[in-house]
Amino acid sequence: DSGVTQTPKHLITATGQRVTLRCSPRSGDLSVYWYQQSLDQGLQFLIQYYNGEERAKGNILERFSAQQFPDLHSELNLSSLELGDSALYFCASSGTGFSYEQYFGPGTRLTVT
């Protein structure tokens, strides 16, 4: 158990809908990262937040947005869903100082039908 929690574990929804994925980082970690794992794109970095502020952006679609709240949990919002958005979405967290290791949550499996 990495200490990172993600809910829900599975999500099935229809095209055009909007969903919210939730992540709670390890206790004490200030950074939260979101990654997408799909069959055709592999594992891709989406976005990073540090202590509530966006710090880095990757290949995140404009239909996707994220935020990190004062209690450090993070939410990834996916809207106008398309079939191609079906993927495993991971959240990871890391601490401060000299430790750059990222610890991953169990992921949320999103299926768009």
Partner 1 sequence: AQTVTQSQPEMSVQEAETVTLSCTYDTSESNYYLFWYKQPPSRQMILVIRQEAYKQQNATENRFSVNFQKAAKSFSLKISDSQLGDTAMYFCAFMILRGATSGSRLTFGEGTQLTVNP
For partner 1, the closer of residues 48 and 78 by Cβ is: 48
For residues 63-99, one letter each, b for 16 or more C-beta atoms within 10 angstroms of the residue's C-beta and e for the rest, the string is: ebebebeeebebbbebeebeeebbbebbbbbbbeeee
By CB under 8 A, is residue 25 in contact with partner 1? no
Residue 98 CA to its chain's centroid (Å): 23
Smallest gap from residue 62 Cβ to partner 1 (A): 19
Residue (12 or 43) nearer to partner 1, CB: 43
Identify how many contiguous H helices and E strands the chain contains and give both numbers. 0, 11
Subset of residues 31 to 70 that bind partner 1, contact rule: CB under 8 A: 31, 33, 35, 42-45, 48, 50-51, 55-56, 58
How does DSSP classify residue 94?
Answer: E
In the complex, the residues that contact partner 1 under the rule CB under 8 A are 2, 30-31, 33, 35, 42-45, 48, 50-51, 55-56, 58, 88, 90, 92, 94-97, 100-104, 106-107, 109
